[in-house]
Amino acid sequence: MARLAALGGIAMVSLPAAATDAPRRIVSVNMCADQLLLALADPGQIAALSWNAARPALSFYADRAVDFPTTRGEAEDVIVRQPDLVLAGPFAGGVAKAAMLRAGLRVVELDVPEDLEAAARQLEDFGGLIGQGARGRVEASKLRAAARESGTGEGHRRLRALYLQRRGIATGRGTMMDALMRAAGLENAVGEAGYARIGIEDLATIDADLLILDGQGLRADGDAADQGAAILAHPVASIRFPRERRVIVPQSELICAGPALARALERLRKVARDAAD
């Protein structure tokens, strides 16, 4: 899941053997590629980032991103920048990516890792791709070390946690959040794979000790900012999960794989330990 796949084929990308082979003008049209670039690349390698890169609510490295040009990913805008590498995601922008390929650009898609080891391997592969293999290995080592730390400790029951997002979307097994929960010593309260949608009745009865939120849709006073976030601010949520039984992990630490996952894991591990004491 952490491989870097060449667009238009199934072969693995040949990673540069040394920094002298590193691409010198990289354009990212994907926010998760932005995060990896900002973590591992030399500033001079970055020709442009996606337009979301400087949004603090989404981008872990928003403060760094403000120093770089941005693009919305239209083919013409990317081609005119004359990059020697374009980084894209696997889903959106198919027409633009095809046009870039026709223009002779090298386009690489990033897969979406679903566990911490896959995220660590992606850091290593990405570092090699951009000629920053040593940095990639260092960050991968840090993430693996964070994943190996103990959770709630011996003798404690594994607390059950519910990760709830806007519109009642809950995250189940086989997802990155599930992997983070397990690494933090928590049990996922959603037993099914993938994603589920729950209502107020489910929220009132679900077997969970902790509520994990990403803060999106909630105002500073805890009220819902819009209808989509109504379930997050519902009185049932406050009764079932008082302040000491909930944790906000910013979306910027969860939305992409990479070094930010270590920060998210630290938050989850702390609340698991505090709640278990």
pLDDT tens figures, 238-264: 899 998 888 999 999 999 999 999 999
Q: What is the pLDDT of residue 248?
A: 92
CB 257 within 8 A of CB 119: yes
Q: What percentage of residues in the chain have a pLDDT greater than 70?
A: 90
Distance CA 79, CA 129 (A): 20
Q: Model-level pTM?
A: 0.86
Residue 86 pLDDT exceeds 90? yes
For 168-173, what is the mean pLDDT? 94
Where are the domain boundaries for CATH 3.40.50.1980 in the chain?
Answer: 4-146, 160-276
Q: Which residues contact 10 (CB under 8 A, 6 or more apart)?
A: none
**CATH code for 4-146?**
3.40.50.1980
**Mean pLDDT taken over the chain:** 88
Pick the more confident residue, 82 or 156: 82
Per-residue model confidence (pLDDT) at position 82 = 96
Q: Please tell me the predicted confidence (pLDDT) of residue 156.
A: 63
Question: Is 2's pLDDT higher than 50?
Answer: no
Domain 160-276, CATH number (from 3.40.50.1980, 3.40.50.10190, 3.40.50.2000, 3.40.50.920): 3.40.50.1980
Residue 66 corresponds to which tokens in the numbers above?
A: 């403000």
Write down the pLDDT at residue 151: 57
